[in-house]
Amino acid sequence: MRYDSPYETHIGVINVNFPPSADDTDSDSSQQRLLDSPEGEAISLTSSEGGRFEQSELTTVTQLFSAETSRNAEEEKQRYLASFDKLNVEESPYVVKELQTIYPMDSRYNLCLGNRLGQGFYGDVCKGYIEDTENSKADRVEVAVKKLKPFAQKRFREDFEREISIMHTLRHPNVVQIFNVIRVPEILLVMELVPHGSLQSYLNFNKDNLAAMNLLKFACDIARGMEYLRQKHIVHRDLAARNILVVDHDNVKISDFGLAQVVDSNDYYMLRTLNRSLPIKWYAPESLTHGKFSTKSDVWSYGITVYEIYLFGKEPPFLGGINDQNNTQLQESMMAAITSGERYPCPEGCAQSVYVNVIRPCWEMDPHARPTFKELTERVMTEMFNSI
């Protein structure tokens, strides 16, 4: 997942209300969606999508709110709506891109969808918030919302459903948590909003303010989160700094399970073909040659990710030294380099012990010779203790 630069622009608000369908099945007949503009004028849009709102069985929305806060939400709302007095939506064609769409989550809570934060293989991630319609003083809960890109292919929809089914089983301090799922009029995955965006960007912008202990703590958090995924028999398949989100200087969380798979008793997943859109730079040799993915291939990716941390978010080059090739040639060049023993050198500023004990062992040719995530966690913690 790649994240856009955040910006705060609110031009309009659209409330989406859905009439109940005549039955539980999808209907081919068009339904009318009523959208209330900020000025209170009803706008009618036609859609062929039917269905009734289905409340998620995941985290109860009520649990996300405190009973009372000191915020006067009603005054804030009036100030917000006052900014629209001179706005003519029909005469502003560019406005549509920055409208805040409101989705009812249940009879009490609404999801308000805002600006895009980033995009991945098949989906966009937007910033949003959940509001309590029955308590104007309740805090709004900021969230990240992932949704499919328009006209997504069937296989991407299947991937999205798999991502949802995987994420709703996960509860760990170093893994992004899912809050809810909305399925009408489109599938929306509502997740916690991690405030500082991707680790890749965070490292680049804060490299002068991060100490060695901060970098080691990031590496430790990732290893802990990956050990938890291993226990859940989940292979991430896209572990990289761009898919780690930053809570603060000392805490990060693993995100983006769009390529993740639950593995069977063999503890590996086989992919028939690799395409150029896949992050092959982070892939283990057995993944490049045979399309085989396991926790051990995630360990290889972990080594690349920690290497990125010590490059402060800079993406490492392709092993083999050649970038301008087609996908097959890139894989062949990388495999030739890896087979010959080529590996990334110790990054500038990285302690030799971190490279020798943590990073380099992840790149063993034999998957079984690579350390486990539990061992990696212990090794990173040892490095943290020794750096005090």
Give the annotated binding-site residues: 147
Distance CA 237, CA 256 (A): 10
Give bridge partners of residue 294 from the DSSP assignment.
268
Distance CA 173, CA 221 (A): 9
Contact between 115 and 127 (Cβ < 8 Å): yes
Is 238 in the active site? Answer: yes
Binding residue ranges for ATP: 147
The tokens describing 123, both together, are 């989906």
Residue 329's SS3 state is helix
Distance CA 330, CA 324 (A): 8
Cα first-last separation, the chain: 34
| List 159, 221, 238, 298, catalytic entry | 238
Q: Where are the beta strands (DSSP E) in 109-185?
A: 109-119, 123-132, 141-148, 178-182
Q: Where are the beta strands (DSSP E) in the chain?
A: 2-3, 12-17, 31-36, 42-47, 99-104, 109-119, 123-132, 141-148, 178-182, 188-192, 234-235, 244-248, 251-254, 261-262, 268-270, 292-294
Count of residues in the chain: 388
Q: Would you name the residues annotated as active-site residues?
A: 238
